[in-house]
Amino acid sequence: MKAKHFFYCWLSMAALLLLLSGCGPATVTPESSATKIAPTQKPYTIGGRTYYPIPSADGYRETGIASWYGRKFHGRKTSNGETYNMHDMTAAHKILPMGTVLLVRNLENGRETVVRVNDRGPFIRGRIIDLSYKAATEIGIDQRGLAKAEIIAMGESVGSDGKGGKELRFQDFFHGNYYIQVGSFLNQNNAENLARHFLATGTKVVIQPYITSGQTYYRVQVFAGTSLKEARKLEEKLLRSGYPDSFIFAR
């Protein structure tokens, strides 16, 4: 039965590739686990939405809503295996590498603090970071719970520098192959129709079959450019144009 299921999945993907090959530069890319990456850097799904951690925090800067989490999670395991301590200077971010050191600035009162990413979240659109309780008090959002903030990556801690400090490592973050996922469908025809819509505009489209729990999802992803700046512009455009679940990721 497993072999039969695999054959039909393979046949479905082959047919999809044939269908789109005559319509433009679309490709079908199966999900692969061949590349060895850290568990905290693997794609993960929360609330039906998949997040793709980025390989480096070099040059990362983001503005949005900061929130905090405290006693309810105190003593629980964080995404990187540490024990959450609401009195430590830590934070949760959806895609930044674990160990990233961030400057967090409250844009409403000008107060700043520095935190280290050791967890994933927050999973609410518009919120860019979940601070520990102590970090929240440092910038004055512990009472209100939310504030507009800016976060700036200062580095990734990769061990000791031999002088009592942390060694920081950066890679190029501004350039790569960026895609935006605009839809994920159980119905293959729906994925194909959406792909054709973007192909008609001259956009490179990838349909990526993803098998989980015995079901195949067809993820429609459009090429967004080779720089983070231009990719973010397209992401914002798609969010405003009827694709509210669009999100950017780097291959």
Average pLDDT (97-103) is 89
In a domain, 66, yes or no: yes
Kindly report, residue by residue over 177-209, the tens digit of the pLDDT: 888 989 999 999 999 999 999 999 998 999 989
Residue 29 has a pLDDT of 43
Strand 27-28 and strand 90-92: the pairing is unpaired
Of 1 and 109, the structure prediction assigns the larger pLDDT to: 109
Q: Which amino acid does the sequence have at 135?
A: A
Q: Where does a domain end: 169, 198, 231? A: 169
For residues 162 and 182, state if they share a domain.
no
For residues 69 and 147, state if they share a domain.
yes
For residues 157 and 102, state if they share a domain.
yes
CATH code for position 68: 2.40.40.10
Q: Where does a domain end: 113, 145, 169? A: 169
CATH code for position 29: 3.30.70.1070
In a domain, 124, yes or no: yes
Average pLDDT (221-239) is 86
For residues 41 and 73, state if they share a domain.
no
Of 124, 147, 138, the closest CA to residue 87 belongs to 138
Could you tell me the residue range of the domain that residue 157 belongs to? 61-169
At 32, is the pLDDT very low, low, confident or very high (cuts 50, 70, 90)? very low
Return d(Cα 20, Cα 207) in angstroms, integer.
9
Of 175 and 97, the structure prediction assigns the larger pLDDT to: 97
Average pLDDT (98-109) is 90
Reply yes or no on whether the pLDDT at 16 is more than 60.
Answer: no
For residues 33 and 123, state if they share a domain.
no
For residues 71 and 151, state if they share a domain.
yes
In a domain, 56, yes or no: no
Domain count, the chain: 2
For residues 238 and 148, state if they share a domain.
no
Kindly report, residue by residue over 125-140, the tens digit of the pLDDT: 889 999 999 999 999 9
For residues 145 and 69, state if they share a domain.
yes
Residue 56 has a pLDDT of 82
Quickly list DSSP for 15-63.
Answer: HHHHHHHTTSS-EE------S---GGGS-EEETTEEE---S--TT-EEE
For residues 115 and 197, state if they share a domain.
no
Return d(Cα 76, Cα 85) in angstroms, integer.
8
Q: Report the share of the chain in percent with pLDDT over 70.
A: 76
Return d(Cα 233, Cα 151) in angstroms, integer.
19
Average pLDDT (27-46) is 65
In a domain, 102, yes or no: yes
For residues 210 and 128, state if they share a domain.
no
